[in-house]
Each structure stands twice: as structure tokens, then as C-alpha cells.
Amino acid sequence: MTMIRPFRADDLDALYDICLATGDHGADATSHYDDKRIIGEIYAAPYAVFEPDLAFVTEDEDGVGGYIIGTHDTRAFEALCEANWWPKLRLVHANPRDTPPADWSWDQKRAFQIHRPSAIPDAVVAAAPAHLHINLLPRLQGQGLGQAMLDTWLWAAGGKAHLGCDQENLRAQRFYDAYGFSRLPSEANSPSTIWMTIGV
């Protein structure tokens, strides 16, 4: 039986695994990384640690295979990570600033994000201060679980949020469009990210 339930502390390793397994524009990124946890240190773990009330997982007979996480207040969350999350990781992951960005490995790209995290654009946060991340392993996709997870998370968060969707992840874009997210004007986007909102 497949169910959506609140995150528990012992689910954290699964969040790291799922983040890695979906970290290449929705596909498995395992082969790209030497450090298999570094992408999860950015996009998964801090949300579960700092805002567990907005963390839910999908579990079937094979274990946890999906999660939805986020924050009520993007700017407060960015400040919290700057004070209590990034400093310890900066001691472990060297800043690759002496290497030309074109030569960075996938690990080095994530290490740079740890040392120089990008703030979400003001226009996006002004539209909806809360934001979320959702990932499902292939075995749980196509069953309506993504919609159910969003329903659960948005109810807990108050119904209004934004997210950033990878420009190359066309499947995810179609899913968010069908769910009811609206795309922000193109000037709010970056070469790699499409910003979308709901409930605004």
C-alpha cells in the first residue's frame, strides 16, 4: 500500500538518496557525483531539518520513494541556512573559485552553491514567500501521487507558494502547468530556471 505521511527523522537518508536519483533534470544523477550527498545537502536535507512541519514523504512496500519539502518564508529560511547550515558544509567542500567554471565537475558546481548560495529573485518571493521542492522516484510516478503530495503540502503551507522548475525538465513543467501553477514573466527567470507560483 502506498501512502503519504509526515517526514520522520529516520527518513533523512532516503531524502538524500531520492534527491540524487532525480538530480539530473529529473533523471538519475548518481554517476555524475563523487559525493553522493552533496546535492541533497542543498535541495533536501535543510528543509527537513529546519521545517519538518512542511516535510512529507511517499512510502510503498519498497520504502520511501518520494518527498515534498519546503519553507513558509523563503527569506527567513535563506538566513537560517546562512547562519546554521552552510558554515559546516563550507569546511568540508572547498570553494572551486580558482578553477574556471567551465571546467567544474558536478561536485564543484554544488560546492560553489554552498559557498555562494543564490537568493531567490525578489519578484518571485514577493509573489509568494513560501516555496517547495518535490521529487518522486520513477516507480511512483504516473499514479497521481504528485498531485496528492502537492495537495497535502499546500494545505499545510496555506495554499500559496512558488517553485523553480528546471528549464530542461519538460515533464515537470507539464505537470506543474496541469496542476495549476502559473509561470512568472520571463524576465523573472534565469537561463536554468522557470519560476512558477500557485495561489496568488
pTM (predicted TM-score) = 0.95
Residues in contact with 32: Cβ distance below 8 Å, sequence separation at least 6, in sequence order: 23, 24, 106
| Whether 134 contacts 149, CB under 8 Å | yes
- Which parts of the chain fold into alpha helices (H)? 12-21, 38-43, 45-50, 74-84, 86-90, 106-115, 122-127, 145-157, 170-179
Residue 181: what pLDDT? 98
Confidence at 127, pLDDT banded by 50, 70, 90: very high
State the DSSP H helix or E strand holding residue 69, giving kind and residue range, or none if neither. Answer: strand 63-71
Work out how many domains the chain is built from and give that number: 1
Record the cell numbers describing residue 39, joined without a space: 546535492
CATH number of the domain bearing residue 73: 3.40.630.30
Flag whether pLDDT at 188 surpasses 80: no
Show the domain range for 190. 3-198
Q: What is the pLDDT of residues 23-73, one digit of tens each?
A: 999 999 999 999 999 999 999 999 999 999 999 999 999 999 999 999 999
